[in-house]
Structure 1
Amino acid sequence: MQLIKEASKDKLRGGFYTPSAIASFILKWAFNGNKSLDILEPSCGDGVFLEEMKNGGYEYNSVTGIELEPEEAEKSKGIGLKKAKIINADFHEYCISSDQRYDLVIGNPPYIRYQYFDKEQQEYAANIFNKAGLKYSKLTNAWVSFVVGSSLLLKENGKIGFVLPAEILQVSYAQPLREFLAQFYNKINIVSFEKLVFPHIQQEVVLLLCEKNNSNTHLIEHLELRDAEDLAKLDVSKLKSPKKKIDFKANKWTFYFLDQDEINFLEKFQEEGVISQLGEYAKVEVGITTGSNPFFTVPISTVKQYNLEKYAKPLVGRSVQVPSAIFTNKDWIQNRKNEARTHLLTFPLMKDLNGSLGAREYIAHGEELKIHEGYKCRIRDEWQMVPSLRISDALFIRRNNLFPKLIINEAQAYTTDTMHRVTVKPNAEIKALTASYYNSLSLAFSEICGRSHGGGVLELMPNEVERILLPYNKNNADLLPQIDKMVREKKDISELLKITNKKILKDNLGFSQADINMADGIWKKLSSRRLNRGK
């Protein structure tokens, strides 16, 4: 693997070692009394799984360990596991060239981004995807190709047990993998944890336990434990018979944190088409990519210091600057008084600056700071000219805490890529659209469509926002003043939803109270799970 100057050694090799409690549990599930397995560990590192196999006194036919780093491979050899062969090689290459097939593949694959692969590794990974009938993406992480490749190396009946980032449940680049696993395996179990297993890297992980048995059923189950130590108390027989049917159309596996009746409830609305997606009423796109927000977004003091009034446009750049469901000019003025970054600098061509000495001085200052050498600035015709200068009807905050906000942009402010721009389509009206969003069903879908991070943050990209179910009705606009007031006064969102659910879901759509309680319970379950992870 080629060394990248800016990357740490751990980042390059993707090495974060598995706690013994996790390795022990995966082996317990995988063996399940079987004594004649051929086993592969495709990224054995310093041999945690091999050590646990030895300590557990397991019997098997053979063990093959693959490890790219020579020093780590030597550590694995030093364990002295019987009937084990350790190969110092790249798993991708091994996967493409090997005819060997296995009953069991286990491990904690490396978390390495595509850009840290050398050219040969990229080609091998692409070949693995091709063999599986999948399209390879440059966004793909190494753990994805490890899971696909390991699956291809299984015998007719076989198992995989992996420690993976929780991204597998949510991120777009793993969607082809989710579709592949759903079709390839007959039983899938996902074990997640309330507490971080790798707290020093803020990486939420899950255990992916898959089995194929040539049946026609495709079932999945999710189980959440407090931490890795709770695995010792878990009866592996609970994982023998997953109950939930896999939805091959589901974009994300966040669904499976829910009970089957909750899944059925949500699928009913998706399949019946009674409620449209937000994308039917509005186009959502990323905010302005400046290339350097600290340089191009500034407080009023900087505008005055360099006499930049001619080039400074109103800006809202952070969620804390948006106190409600309507961002007003008064809000913007208050932010400006607070010395927030309330101005976007929109410079023209250098030749058009004419006598603007302050602007020239500020741009020269940016070049001293080497702002112009950053990728986004460097590829422009002239680096100081920010592209895509469009103001949107509304804003949708990209990263959220308690709940994601949809906000009317009454102040006509520009926004950076910390928020998405929402442009209303001709078939909708901005006040009705915004008010229609604030209900339990839409908030539940925001949790399902987005992805959570280790600190409890919910992030939604534009295409994910557009997939949120939105019960649009023109008369919902009547709710907007009360929504705006309650959000502005920081009232508990549950109090607001009692009011909005009645009109949006019950009066307009005929939801029963039981339906409303179901939608609200789903939202609370998913958001509480995410927020607890941030504590």
Structure 2
Amino acid sequence: MNEVEQKRKLMQDALDALKTQKERNSMGQFSTPYPLALEIMRYMRNLLKKKDVSFIEPSIGTGVFYSAFLNEFAESTKRVLGFEIDSHYYNPTKKFWKETPLELRQANFLDQEPDDLFDMLVANPPYVRHHHIDSDKKVQLQEKVLKKYGIKISGLAGLYCYFMILSSAWLNENGLSCWLVPSEFMDVNYGTAVKKFLLHNVELVHIHRFNANDLQFADALVSSCIVVFRNRKPQKSSKIKFSIGGTINKPNEIRLIDGSNLKAESKWTSLFQGNVVNLESQVTLGSFFTVKRGIATGDNDFFIVDKETIEKYEIPHIFLRPVLPSPRYIEGNCISSENGNPVVSHPQFLFSCNLPEAIIKKNYPKVWEYIKFGIEKGVPKGYICSHRNPWYSCEDREPAAIVIPYMGRSESQNKMFRFILNKSKAITTNVYLLLYPKPEYAYCLKNVSLLNEIWQKLNSIATETLCQNGRFYGGGLHKMEPKELMRTPANEISTLLEPKSNGQLSLFATA
């Protein structure tokens, strides 16, 4: 690290320290580590092979990529343009780089129209989630993407998706664009628009994914990837490089895939593995089960109660339902039952009541005290509770015989994704996914031996197979949504189950 970069890093750290984590989260301000910026710039230099390079950076921050650019392109600089919207970073950055060729503008890159075209763009765009984007601004950006590229982008897309797509208007023909972005776009539904753009509007060159345990940003809980594309239409029979692990210049594994075989609607994380399977031709868990998230209470601290709270407020059993504790408190993969309640070390219950306040005040004064306690805490003002009537009445849900935690970590003592046999009548909160057999297979719930076989087959599904369908985050964190679990191959389950038209059985019929 040279002296200039050392000074820039000190400035970066000082400016970051003056902002709260919440402020930086809302604006997606996470600086790129300099070694990674330098690695990326060296990759671009080898790929570009051009003198007199013009470079644009749409979210420059304090200029870590510019610092790396000067290190690698010092003798080849034609023009450099950077944008920074936040005066907190803009003013110090402008002063710091004033003796260099950098032209810096305080403006929102997405609001600007090109006044020149550039050879190269490298960016770590703001990681701003959709709920932090102003609704009017979101509509404006959606219309802009639709008008320019004919792509309809979801309202759930993060700001970085708009940056990636709209940036190509600033590039020369054959200009190179490189993005350090969350890898989640390759799997989530809103990422379909980005993948359409990469497959049909530009020539996708390379996607490098870091290992899930290799967190690129210590203060941003996302897994990262590098996306590189040329500003030209895809060439026939062009091969796209997918690499994983190591660095973009020296990855641990590389696969070359024909772009014509890729679909925007498919998950792309499996492309980094040794074997790519066509899930559309396989029997999946969704063939046999409907998968749902557990209930969202709106405030677990209030609605999930223990025996001490029940006794204190004299909450009758008619307002209570047994609920499974957090997965980290469950040892093993089987929940025994005692009078319908799960046999666990710390029993918990869901509090839910649909009686009017007047009746509760009259007939259950101690329960009314508890409800008043919730009001004082502001529970009714939460989004979920504010949309319920009454706010203290939770969703009525049937228990599931088989449940699975929806997230797991690779370093956990338990298997990352484990299927738990629930012999009790306990329901779950939304930290679990619940497997409900489809009507034609519901007969398995009354056959103890068959249900056990199904449970064992589910736990024999390789962790890698489950992870291919889920989502990767930083620090070894993996998540699974209901539709993703339903896409998991389940050929072995098909050997155990045959559809029966009269299988309309109650889901409570566990042994």
Superposition TM-score, scaled by structure 1 size = 0.76
Match of 2:423 in 1: 410
Give distance in 2, aligned partners of 1:212 and 1:331.
Answer: 66
Query: What is the letter of the counterpart of residue 12 of structure 1?
Result: S
Query: What is the letter of the counterpart of residue 293 of structure 1?
Result: N
Which residue of 410, 435, 439 corresponds with 1:426? Answer: 439
Tell me if structure 1 keeps the 8 A contact 2:342–2:426: no
Residue 404 and residue 59 in structure 1: after superposition, are their counterparts in 2 closer, same or farther (change >3 A)?
same
Tell me if structure 1 keeps the 8 A contact 2:145–2:153: yes
Matches within 5 A, 1:233-244: 234=249, 243-244=256-257
Which residue of 360, 363, 368 corresponds with 1:360? Answer: 368
Shift of 1:99: 5.7
Tell me if structure 1 keeps the 8 A contact 2:193–2:264: no
Give distance in 1, aligned partners of 2:123 and 2:169.
Answer: 15
Residue 440 and residue 123 in structure 1: after superposition, are their counterparts in 2 closer, same or farther (change >3 A)?
closer
Tell me if structure 1 keeps the 8 A contact 2:335–2:343: no
Shift of 1:297: 1.0
Shift of 1:332: 7.4
Which residue of 90, 110, 115 corresponds with 2:131? Answer: 115
Give distance in 2, aligned partners of 1:438 and 1:189.
Answer: 32
Which residue of 374, 398, 402 corresponds with 1:390? Answer: 398
Provide Cα deviations, 1:194-235, integer angstroms capped at 9, x if missing partner. 532222334432222223554113433343445xxx67xx46
Shift of 1:242: 6.2
Shift of 1:17: 1.4
Match of 1:283 in 2: 290
Query: What is the letter of the counterpart of residue 150 of structure 2?
Result: G
Query: What is the letter of the counterpart of residue 439 of structure 1?
Result: S
Give distance in 2, aligned partners of 1:276 and 1:352.
Answer: 51
Shift of 1:43: 0.6
Tell me if structure 2 keeps the 8 A contact 1:54–1:81: no
Residue 389 and residue 473 in structure 1: after superposition, are their counterparts in 2 closer, same or farther (change >3 A)?
closer
Where 2:476 maps in the other structure, the secondary structure is coil
Match of 2:258 in 1: 245
Residue 6 and residue 365 in structure 1: after superposition, are their counterparts in 2 closer, same or farther (change >3 A)?
farther
Residue 473 and residue 18 in structure 1: after superposition, are their counterparts in 2 closer, same or farther (change >3 A)?
closer
Residue 349 and residue 315 in structure 1: after superposition, are their counterparts in 2 closer, same or farther (change >3 A)?
same
Residue 186 and residue 372 in structure 1: after superposition, are their counterparts in 2 closer, same or farther (change >3 A)?
closer
Residue 321 and residue 22 in structure 1: after superposition, are their counterparts in 2 closer, same or farther (change >3 A)?
closer
Matches within 5 A, 1:122-201: 122-130=138-146, 131-183=148-200, 184-193=202-211, 194-201=213-220
Give distance in 1, aligned partners of 2:324 and 2:129.
Answer: 32
Where 1:313 maps in the other structure, the secondary structure is strand
Residue 198 and residue 422 in structure 1: after superposition, are their counterparts in 2 closer, same or farther (change >3 A)?
same
Match of 1:436 in 2: 457
Query: What is the letter of the counterpart of residue 420 of structure 2?
Result: I
Shift of 1:112: 1.1
Provide Cα deviations, 1:45-87, integer angstroms capped at 9, x if missing partner. 1112222222331414322211112343344434147554222
The two structures, once aligned, show a CA RMSD in angstroms of: 3.0
Give distance in 2, aligned partners of 1:150 and 1:249.
Answer: 20
Where 2:168 maps in the other structure, the secondary structure is helix
Match of 1:64 in 2: 81
Higher relative contact order (CA 8 A, sep 6+): 2
2:372 is the counterpart of 1:372: no
Query: What is the letter of the counterpart of residue 284 of structure 1?
Result: V
Normalized per residue, the structure richer in strand is: 2
Query: What is the letter of the counterpart of residue 11 of structure 1?
Result: N
Give distance in 2, aligned partners of 1:387 and 1:99.
Answer: 55
Match of 2:103 in 1: 85
Give distance in 2, aligned partners of 1:456 and 1:111.
Answer: 19
Tell me if structure 2 keeps the 8 A contact 1:92–1:121: no
Give distance in 2, aligned partners of 1:439 and 1:110.
Answer: 40
Provide Cα deviations, 1:319-377, integer angstroms capped at 9, x if missing partner. 135444443314975655x334x211121222443512221121112112221221211
Residue 218 and residue 439 in structure 1: after superposition, are their counterparts in 2 closer, same or farther (change >3 A)?
farther
Matches within 5 A, 1:203-214: 203-211=222-230, 214=233
Give distance in 1, aligned partners of 2:416 and 2:208.
Answer: 26
Shift of 1:180: 2.4
Displaced runs of 4 or more, over 6 A: none
Tell me if structure 2 keeps the 8 A contact 1:128–1:148: no
Where 2:400 maps in the other structure, the secondary structure is coil
Match of 1:310 in 2: 318
Shift of 1:433: 4.1
Shift of 1:172: 3.4
Tell me if structure 2 keeps the 8 A contact 1:47–1:75: no
Tell me if structure 2 keeps the 8 A contact 1:67–1:73: yes
Query: What is the letter of the counterpart of residue 349 of structure 1?
Result: L
Give distance in 2, aligned partners of 1:85 and 1:320.
Answer: 52
Residue 119 and residue 293 in structure 1: after superposition, are their counterparts in 2 closer, same or farther (change >3 A)?
closer
Matched-pair identity in %? 22
Match of 1:219 in 2: 239
Give distance in 1, aligned partners of 2:140 and 2:171.
Answer: 18
Which residue of 466, 483, 496 corresponds with 1:446? Answer: 466
Residue 313 and residue 6 in structure 1: after superposition, are their counterparts in 2 closer, same or farther (change >3 A)?
farther
Shift of 1:42: 0.7
2:61 is the counterpart of 1:45: yes
Query: What is the letter of the counterpart of residue 107 of structure 1?
Result: A
Shift of 1:476: 4.4
Deviates more, 1:69-78 or 1:126-135: 69-78
Where 2:363 maps in the other structure, the secondary structure is coil
Give distance in 2, aligned partners of 1:331 and 1:474.
Answer: 33
Which residue of 16, 30, 41 corresponds with 2:30? Answer: 16
Tell me if structure 2 keeps the 8 A contact 1:92–1:128: no
Match of 2:303 in 1: 296
Count of paired positions? 453
Match of 2:16 in 1: none
Provide Cα deviations, 1:137-157, integer angstroms capped at 9, x if missing partner. 232111111111113433331
Match of 2:41 in 1: 27
Shift of 1:170: 3.5
Provide Cα deviations, 1:92-126, integer angstroms capped at 9, x if missing partner. 111xx336433221111111122323355324421
Match of 1:256 in 2: 271
Match of 1:102 in 2: 118
Tell me if structure 2 keeps the 8 A contact 1:315–1:415: yes
Residue 473 and residue 174 in structure 1: after superposition, are their counterparts in 2 closer, same or farther (change >3 A)?
closer
Residue 120 and residue 296 in structure 1: after superposition, are their counterparts in 2 closer, same or farther (change >3 A)?
closer
Match of 1:483 in 2: none
Give distance in 1, aligned partners of 2:474 and 2:303.
Answer: 30
Which residue of 338, 350, 354 corresponds with 1:348? Answer: 354
Residue 440 and residue 288 in structure 1: after superposition, are their counterparts in 2 closer, same or farther (change >3 A)?
closer
